[in-house]
Amino acid sequence: MSRLASPTLLALLLGVGTTGNALAQHDHDPPADSASRCTPEHTAMGHCTARDPAQEPPAPHGDHAPACTAGHAAMGHCTPEPAPPPDCPPEHAAMGHCTPGGGPEQPREPIPPLTDADRAAAFPMLSHAGMEHGPTVYSRVKFNRFEAWDGRHARGQAWEGSASIGGDIHRLWLRSSGQRETGRTTSSNVELRHSRAVARWWDVVAGVRQDVRPASRTRAAFGVQGIAPYMWEVSAIAYVGDGGGVAAKLEAEYDLRFTNRLVLQPLLEIELHSEDDAARGVGSGLSKAEAGLRLRYEAARRFAPYIGVSHERTFGRTADFHAAEGEASRDTRLVAGVRFWF
Protein backbone atom coordinates (compact mmCIF):
# COMPACT_ATOMS: atom_id res chain seq x y z
CA MET A 1 0.00 0.00 0.00
CA SER A 2 2.74 2.35 0.97
CA ARG A 3 4.72 1.41 -2.15
CA LEU A 4 1.82 2.34 -4.41
CA ALA A 5 1.10 5.60 -2.59
CA SER A 6 4.62 7.00 -3.05
CA PRO A 7 4.62 7.04 -6.87
CA THR A 8 1.13 8.44 -6.92
CA LEU A 9 2.03 11.26 -4.54
CA LEU A 10 5.13 12.17 -6.59
CA ALA A 11 3.08 12.41 -9.79
CA LEU A 12 0.57 14.75 -8.13
CA LEU A 13 3.34 17.03 -6.88
CA LEU A 14 4.90 17.24 -10.35
CA GLY A 15 1.52 18.10 -11.92
CA VAL A 16 0.88 20.87 -9.42
CA GLY A 17 4.35 22.40 -10.11
CA THR A 18 3.81 22.35 -13.86
CA THR A 19 0.43 23.99 -13.49
CA GLY A 20 1.90 26.72 -11.22
CA ASN A 21 4.66 27.52 -13.68
CA ALA A 22 2.13 27.84 -16.47
CA LEU A 23 -0.02 30.13 -14.37
CA ALA A 24 2.98 32.22 -13.40
CA GLN A 25 3.99 32.55 -17.02
CA HIS A 26 0.50 33.78 -17.91
CA ASP A 27 0.67 36.38 -15.13
CA HIS A 28 4.03 37.89 -16.24
CA ASP A 29 3.96 37.44 -20.02
CA PRO A 30 1.01 39.15 -21.65
CA PRO A 31 0.17 38.07 -25.16
CA ALA A 32 2.26 39.69 -27.86
CA ASP A 33 -0.77 40.40 -29.99
CA SER A 34 -3.14 43.29 -29.48
CA ALA A 35 -6.16 43.23 -27.15
CA SER A 36 -8.35 42.16 -30.05
CA ARG A 37 -6.49 38.76 -30.08
CA CYS A 38 -7.02 38.11 -26.33
CA THR A 39 -9.01 34.88 -25.75
CA PRO A 40 -12.05 34.84 -23.43
CA GLU A 41 -10.29 32.61 -20.84
CA HIS A 42 -7.32 35.00 -20.70
CA THR A 43 -9.72 37.90 -20.25
CA ALA A 44 -11.52 36.06 -17.45
CA MET A 45 -8.18 35.51 -15.65
CA GLY A 46 -7.26 39.30 -15.97
CA HIS A 47 -4.34 38.69 -18.32
CA CYS A 48 -5.56 41.21 -20.92
CA THR A 49 -5.71 44.89 -19.91
CA ALA A 50 -6.90 47.79 -22.01
CA ARG A 51 -4.19 50.36 -22.90
CA ASP A 52 -4.66 54.01 -22.09
CA PRO A 53 -3.42 56.04 -25.07
CA ALA A 54 -2.80 59.02 -22.77
CA GLN A 55 -0.21 57.00 -20.86
CA GLU A 56 1.56 55.80 -23.99
CA PRO A 57 4.99 57.43 -24.62
CA PRO A 58 4.80 60.04 -27.38
CA ALA A 59 5.60 58.78 -30.80
CA PRO A 60 8.71 60.39 -32.38
CA HIS A 61 8.14 63.06 -35.01
CA GLY A 62 10.15 64.58 -37.75
CA ASP A 63 12.45 63.19 -40.33
CA HIS A 64 14.10 60.80 -37.83
CA ALA A 65 10.84 59.02 -36.77
CA PRO A 66 11.00 55.27 -37.54
CA ALA A 67 8.39 53.73 -39.78
CA CYS A 68 5.36 52.48 -37.86
CA THR A 69 4.84 48.74 -38.26
CA ALA A 70 1.42 47.13 -38.59
CA GLY A 71 1.70 45.55 -35.12
CA HIS A 72 2.52 48.91 -33.49
CA ALA A 73 -0.34 50.56 -35.30
CA ALA A 74 -2.74 47.83 -34.14
CA MET A 75 -1.60 48.29 -30.49
CA GLY A 76 -2.06 52.13 -30.69
CA HIS A 77 1.68 52.93 -30.39
CA CYS A 78 1.68 55.15 -33.49
CA THR A 79 -0.18 58.45 -33.45
CA PRO A 80 -0.65 60.33 -36.71
CA GLU A 81 1.32 63.60 -36.94
CA PRO A 82 -0.99 66.51 -37.81
CA ALA A 83 -0.22 68.06 -41.16
CA PRO A 84 0.58 71.80 -41.18
CA PRO A 85 -2.09 74.16 -42.51
CA PRO A 86 -1.94 74.72 -46.25
CA ASP A 87 -1.08 78.43 -45.83
CA CYS A 88 1.76 77.80 -43.36
CA PRO A 89 5.30 78.00 -44.82
CA PRO A 90 7.43 74.88 -44.22
CA GLU A 91 10.01 76.78 -42.16
CA HIS A 92 7.28 78.07 -39.84
CA ALA A 93 5.76 74.60 -39.53
CA ALA A 94 9.17 73.15 -38.56
CA MET A 95 9.48 75.71 -35.74
CA GLY A 96 5.95 75.03 -34.47
CA HIS A 97 4.68 78.51 -35.25
CA CYS A 98 1.58 77.28 -37.07
CA THR A 99 -1.45 76.04 -35.19
CA PRO A 100 -3.52 73.14 -36.56
CA GLY A 101 -6.34 75.60 -37.20
CA GLY A 102 -4.26 77.33 -39.88
CA GLY A 103 -2.39 80.59 -40.07
CA PRO A 104 0.28 81.91 -37.70
CA GLU A 105 0.00 81.30 -34.00
CA GLN A 106 -2.23 83.86 -32.31
CA PRO A 107 -1.01 85.85 -29.29
CA ARG A 108 -2.10 84.71 -25.86
CA GLU A 109 -3.67 88.09 -25.18
CA PRO A 110 -5.68 89.42 -28.12
CA ILE A 111 -4.75 92.88 -29.45
CA PRO A 112 -7.57 95.35 -28.83
CA PRO A 113 -8.94 97.15 -31.88
CA LEU A 114 -7.59 100.62 -32.73
CA THR A 115 -9.86 103.43 -31.55
CA ASP A 116 -10.11 107.15 -32.29
CA ALA A 117 -8.67 107.88 -28.84
CA ASP A 118 -5.57 105.85 -29.72
CA ARG A 119 -5.13 107.76 -32.96
CA ALA A 120 -5.53 111.10 -31.17
CA ALA A 121 -2.90 110.11 -28.61
CA ALA A 122 -0.44 109.03 -31.32
CA PHE A 123 -0.92 112.17 -33.46
CA PRO A 124 -1.70 115.08 -31.14
CA MET A 125 -2.65 118.46 -32.52
CA LEU A 126 0.34 120.79 -32.20
CA SER A 127 -0.21 124.30 -30.95
CA HIS A 128 1.74 126.92 -32.86
CA ALA A 129 1.42 129.28 -29.91
CA GLY A 130 3.89 127.15 -27.94
CA MET A 131 6.39 126.77 -30.79
CA GLU A 132 9.38 129.00 -31.53
CA HIS A 133 9.68 130.06 -35.16
CA GLY A 134 12.59 131.80 -36.82
CA PRO A 135 12.14 135.40 -37.86
CA THR A 136 10.45 135.89 -41.21
CA VAL A 137 12.42 139.12 -41.76
CA TYR A 138 16.10 139.32 -40.93
CA SER A 139 18.97 141.65 -41.76
CA ARG A 140 22.74 141.45 -42.11
CA VAL A 141 25.66 143.77 -42.82
CA LYS A 142 28.74 142.16 -44.34
CA PHE A 143 32.11 143.48 -45.52
CA ASN A 144 33.59 140.78 -47.69
CA ARG A 145 36.72 142.87 -48.28
CA PHE A 146 38.08 145.69 -46.15
CA GLU A 147 41.77 145.79 -46.93
CA ALA A 148 44.97 147.65 -47.60
CA TRP A 149 47.13 146.74 -50.59
CA ASP A 150 50.70 147.30 -51.67
CA GLY A 151 51.37 147.13 -55.40
CA ARG A 152 54.39 147.49 -57.62
CA HIS A 153 53.59 151.10 -58.52
CA ALA A 154 51.36 152.36 -55.71
CA ARG A 155 49.66 151.64 -52.40
CA GLY A 156 46.05 152.05 -51.38
CA GLN A 157 42.92 150.67 -49.83
CA ALA A 158 39.82 148.89 -51.13
CA TRP A 159 36.44 147.84 -49.82
CA GLU A 160 33.41 145.78 -50.86
CA GLY A 161 30.40 145.41 -48.61
CA SER A 162 26.65 144.94 -48.54
CA ALA A 163 23.65 145.28 -46.25
CA SER A 164 20.45 143.30 -46.76
CA ILE A 165 17.03 142.96 -45.17
CA GLY A 166 14.08 140.70 -46.00
CA GLY A 167 13.04 137.07 -46.00
CA ASP A 168 13.96 133.91 -47.86
CA ILE A 169 12.09 134.94 -51.04
CA HIS A 170 12.34 138.73 -51.26
CA ARG A 171 15.29 140.78 -50.05
CA LEU A 172 16.50 144.37 -50.40
CA TRP A 173 20.24 144.94 -50.86
CA LEU A 174 22.47 147.99 -50.49
CA ARG A 175 25.94 147.39 -51.91
CA SER A 176 29.06 149.52 -52.21
CA SER A 177 32.59 149.03 -53.54
CA GLY A 178 35.52 151.28 -54.26
CA GLN A 179 39.24 151.91 -54.15
CA ARG A 180 41.67 154.54 -52.95
CA GLU A 181 45.14 155.07 -54.35
CA THR A 182 47.90 157.45 -53.18
CA GLY A 183 45.48 159.26 -50.89
CA ARG A 184 42.62 159.82 -53.33
CA THR A 185 39.49 157.87 -54.25
CA THR A 186 39.85 156.53 -57.77
CA SER A 187 36.56 154.59 -57.97
CA SER A 188 33.42 154.22 -55.86
CA ASN A 189 29.80 153.22 -56.45
CA VAL A 190 26.58 152.43 -54.58
CA GLU A 191 23.85 149.99 -55.69
CA LEU A 192 20.31 149.42 -54.50
CA ARG A 193 18.94 146.00 -55.54
CA HIS A 194 15.89 143.89 -55.00
CA SER A 195 16.28 140.10 -55.23
CA ARG A 196 13.69 137.38 -55.57
CA ALA A 197 14.37 133.66 -55.20
CA VAL A 198 13.35 131.77 -58.35
CA ALA A 199 15.05 128.41 -57.70
CA ARG A 200 17.00 126.67 -55.01
CA TRP A 201 20.13 128.78 -54.34
CA TRP A 202 19.36 131.23 -57.17
CA ASP A 203 17.93 134.79 -57.18
CA VAL A 204 17.12 137.30 -59.88
CA VAL A 205 18.04 140.88 -59.02
CA ALA A 206 17.06 144.29 -60.33
CA GLY A 207 17.90 147.76 -59.14
CA VAL A 208 19.84 150.94 -59.74
CA ARG A 209 23.55 151.84 -59.55
CA GLN A 210 25.08 155.21 -58.83
CA ASP A 211 28.73 155.73 -59.82
CA VAL A 212 30.46 158.44 -57.79
CA ARG A 213 34.05 158.16 -59.04
CA PRO A 214 35.65 158.69 -61.51
CA ALA A 215 32.51 160.19 -63.07
CA SER A 216 28.97 160.50 -61.72
CA ARG A 217 26.51 158.27 -63.55
CA THR A 218 23.20 156.52 -62.84
CA ARG A 219 22.36 153.21 -64.49
CA ALA A 220 19.85 150.38 -64.15
CA ALA A 221 21.11 147.01 -62.93
CA PHE A 222 19.69 143.54 -63.44
CA GLY A 223 21.03 139.96 -63.39
CA VAL A 224 21.29 136.78 -61.36
CA GLN A 225 23.19 135.67 -58.26
CA GLY A 226 23.43 132.40 -56.37
CA ILE A 227 25.47 129.29 -55.64
CA ALA A 228 26.69 127.25 -58.61
CA PRO A 229 27.72 123.56 -58.46
CA TYR A 230 30.69 122.83 -56.18
CA MET A 231 29.58 125.74 -53.93
CA TRP A 232 30.87 128.56 -56.09
CA GLU A 233 29.18 131.89 -55.24
CA VAL A 234 28.40 133.46 -58.59
CA SER A 235 27.05 136.86 -59.63
CA ALA A 236 26.38 138.19 -63.15
CA ILE A 237 25.03 141.76 -63.33
CA ALA A 238 24.44 144.00 -66.37
CA TYR A 239 24.28 147.82 -66.25
CA VAL A 240 22.39 149.90 -68.81
CA GLY A 241 21.68 153.60 -69.30
CA ASP A 242 23.02 157.18 -69.10
CA GLY A 243 25.54 156.71 -71.92
CA GLY A 244 28.37 154.25 -72.03
CA GLY A 245 26.31 151.47 -73.58
CA VAL A 246 25.96 148.21 -71.69
CA ALA A 247 28.45 147.04 -69.08
CA ALA A 248 28.61 143.66 -67.36
CA LYS A 249 30.43 142.40 -64.31
CA LEU A 250 30.97 138.71 -63.54
CA GLU A 251 32.14 137.52 -60.10
CA ALA A 252 32.94 134.05 -58.75
CA GLU A 253 34.42 133.07 -55.39
CA TYR A 254 34.81 129.85 -53.44
CA ASP A 255 35.61 128.94 -49.81
CA LEU A 256 38.16 126.15 -49.57
CA ARG A 257 38.28 125.07 -45.92
CA PHE A 258 41.51 123.57 -44.60
CA THR A 259 40.08 123.49 -41.07
CA ASN A 260 36.95 124.82 -39.43
CA ARG A 261 38.66 128.20 -39.09
CA LEU A 262 41.36 128.38 -41.77
CA VAL A 263 39.80 129.18 -45.17
CA LEU A 264 41.35 129.92 -48.57
CA GLN A 265 39.15 132.02 -50.87
CA PRO A 266 39.89 132.16 -54.62
CA LEU A 267 38.26 135.13 -56.36
CA LEU A 268 37.74 136.05 -60.03
CA GLU A 269 36.20 139.27 -61.39
CA ILE A 270 35.71 140.21 -65.06
CA GLU A 271 34.34 143.47 -66.52
CA LEU A 272 33.05 143.91 -70.08
CA HIS A 273 31.71 146.94 -71.99
CA SER A 274 29.83 147.27 -75.26
CA GLU A 275 31.49 150.56 -76.27
CA ASP A 276 34.27 152.96 -75.30
CA ASP A 277 33.79 155.28 -72.34
CA ALA A 278 36.70 157.69 -72.21
CA ALA A 279 35.29 159.58 -69.21
CA ARG A 280 35.70 156.46 -67.07
CA GLY A 281 38.82 155.20 -68.83
CA VAL A 282 37.30 151.97 -70.18
CA GLY A 283 37.21 150.55 -73.68
CA SER A 284 34.88 148.16 -75.46
CA GLY A 285 35.10 144.39 -75.04
CA LEU A 286 36.95 142.78 -72.17
CA SER A 287 38.21 145.74 -70.16
CA LYS A 288 39.56 144.39 -66.86
CA ALA A 289 40.11 141.12 -64.99
CA GLU A 290 41.19 140.46 -61.43
CA ALA A 291 42.21 137.16 -59.83
CA GLY A 292 43.12 136.76 -56.19
CA LEU A 293 43.74 134.37 -53.32
CA ARG A 294 42.95 135.36 -49.73
CA LEU A 295 43.72 133.17 -46.73
CA ARG A 296 41.63 134.06 -43.69
CA TYR A 297 41.48 132.81 -40.13
CA GLU A 298 38.03 132.93 -38.56
CA ALA A 299 38.92 133.85 -35.00
CA ALA A 300 35.16 134.24 -34.59
CA ARG A 301 32.50 133.38 -37.13
CA ARG A 302 31.78 137.07 -37.61
CA PHE A 303 35.37 138.30 -37.64
CA ALA A 304 38.22 136.94 -39.78
CA PRO A 305 41.53 138.67 -40.60
CA TYR A 306 43.20 137.64 -43.85
CA ILE A 307 46.24 138.05 -46.05
CA GLY A 308 46.60 137.34 -49.76
CA VAL A 309 47.71 138.26 -53.22
CA SER A 310 45.81 139.84 -56.09
CA HIS A 311 46.65 140.31 -59.76
CA GLU A 312 44.84 142.90 -61.88
CA ARG A 313 45.12 143.44 -65.61
CA THR A 314 43.49 145.71 -68.19
CA PHE A 315 42.90 144.82 -71.85
CA GLY A 316 42.39 146.52 -75.24
CA ARG A 317 41.29 150.12 -75.28
CA THR A 318 41.12 150.18 -71.50
CA ALA A 319 44.86 149.44 -71.33
CA ASP A 320 45.45 152.29 -73.81
CA PHE A 321 43.48 154.75 -71.64
CA HIS A 322 45.51 153.72 -68.58
CA ALA A 323 48.79 154.07 -70.45
CA ALA A 324 47.80 157.60 -71.48
CA GLU A 325 47.38 158.43 -67.78
CA GLY A 326 50.77 156.95 -66.94
CA GLU A 327 49.37 153.79 -65.34
CA ALA A 328 50.54 150.22 -65.95
CA SER A 329 48.27 147.75 -67.66
CA ARG A 330 48.88 145.08 -65.01
CA ASP A 331 49.79 144.99 -61.36
CA THR A 332 50.32 142.36 -58.65
CA ARG A 333 49.43 143.37 -55.10
CA LEU A 334 49.88 142.02 -51.60
CA VAL A 335 46.74 142.53 -49.54
CA ALA A 336 45.89 142.35 -45.84
CA GLY A 337 42.54 143.06 -44.31
CA VAL A 338 39.60 141.82 -42.33
CA ARG A 339 36.29 140.20 -43.23
CA PHE A 340 33.41 140.78 -40.81
CA TRP A 341 29.64 140.78 -40.61
CA PHE A 342 26.91 141.56 -38.09
Q: Strands 262-273 and 256-257: what pairing?
A: antiparallel
Confidence of residue 126 (pLDDT cuts 50, 70, 90): confident
Residues 237-288 have pLDDT tens digits of 999 987 768 999 999 999 999 999 999 999 999 999 998 888 788 888 999 9
Cβ neighbours of residue 233 closer than 8 Å, sequence gap 6 or more: 226, 227, 251, 252, 253, 254
Q: How confident is the model at residue 182 (pLDDT cuts 50, 70, 90)?
A: confident
Grade residue 213 by pLDDT with cuts at 50, 70 and 90.
confident
Domain spans of the chain, in order of start: 138-341
The conformation of residue 44, written as its DSSP 8-state character, comes to H
What is the percentage of the chain residues whose pLDDT exceeds 90?
44
Residue 70 has pLDDT above 50, yes or no: yes
**CA–CA gap between residue 318 and residue 93 (Å, rounded):** 89
| pLDDT per position as a tens digit, 82-110 | 555 566 677 766 776 665 555 556 667 78
Output the pLDDT for position 16.
Answer: 42
Query: Does 228 score more than 90 pLDDT?
Result: yes
Q: Which of 77, 85, 83 is nearest to 60 (CA)?
A: 77
For residue 111, what pLDDT band results from cuts at 50, 70 and 90?
confident
> Over 80: is that where the pLDDT of 319 sits?
yes
Q: What is the mean pLDDT of residues 43-61?
A: 54
50 pLDDT tier (thresholds 50, 70, 90)? low
Residues of the chain above pLDDT 70, percent = 67
Q: Strand 170-181 to strand 184-199: parallel, antiparallel, or no bridges (unpaired)?
A: antiparallel
Whole-number pLDDT of residue 180: 93
DSSP 41: H
| CA–CA–CA angle 103, 107, 109 (5° rounding) | 145
Identify the pLDDT of residue 206: 97
**What per-residue confidence (pLDDT) applies to 110?**
80
Whether pTM > 0.85 for this model: the answer is: no
Task: Give the separation between CA 322 and CA 331, rounded to whole angstroms.
Answer: 12
Taking domain 138-341, whether its CATH number is 3.40.50.2300 is answered by no
Q: Give the CA angle between residues 57, 59, 65 to the nearest 5°.
A: 145
